Amino acid sequence: MATSRARRVLGYLESGKNLAGSACGVAGLGLTLAGVAGAYWPLVIAGLYGAGALIAPPERVAPPPFDPSEEVDALRADFARLGEYLGEVELPATAGARWAGLLELYGALLEPGWVAEVLATEPEAVHALSRAIRRDVPECVDTYNRTRWWNRLTPGGESPERHLERQLDLLYEEAESVTADLREAEARRQQTHTAYLEERGRS
């Protein structure tokens, strides 16, 4: 505890507030030596020190260093768990091709390598993929299984299989949109680097 207190004291001594207050206190000492402060010189010096400490800007606290690749790693682990979950539930054979295409696209985006590195630099793409893998796909499957059970008791209306197929189509379109956005982001980076090299060559 003593070490922590000493660290706080040392931190304050090195802070901008103490430096600003000390500078104002030195100015008060100058006024005292010039005979301006008179008999109230201790109050003048203390007041100027306090004023300097108050008007000094607050200390800037550096934000914690977040690593975007850690979120992609966590998402990759969740995608693996999603695959295990899908292997245990009963899914309609009619949607087999849609499932295969969707999971293949997710896997390609999350596969370790330069694509995943590009993904890590695009927070919106990571959010969209995270939402699909962690919420949308499990909810589609769970809703299909529950609806199918009710449909056995009261058949009629549009089949649960058809609803699931439409949901998978929408998720695939969203994944394709994410892929297109990443491709455009990488193209912009290439164009920026080309412009930089051209500018450097001219200078």
- Say which amino acid occupies 137: V
pTM of the model: 0.64
- Rounded CA-CA distance 80/130 in Å is 13
Q: For residue 68, give the nearest of 133, 121, 132, 31 by alpha carbon.
A: 121
CA 74 to CA 24: how far, in whole Å?
52
In order along its 203 residues, the chain shows pLDDT tens digits of 456 666 665 666 566 676 676 777 677 667 666 766 667 667 766 776 777 677 776 666 776 666 777 889 999 999 999 999 988 888 888 888 889 999 999 999 999 988 888 888 888 999 999 999 999 999 999 998 888 877 766 766 678 888 899 999 999 999 999 999 888 888 888 888 888 788 887 87
What are the residues whose beta carbons fall under 8 Å from the beta carbon of 59, sequence distance 6 or more?
Answer: 15, 16, 17
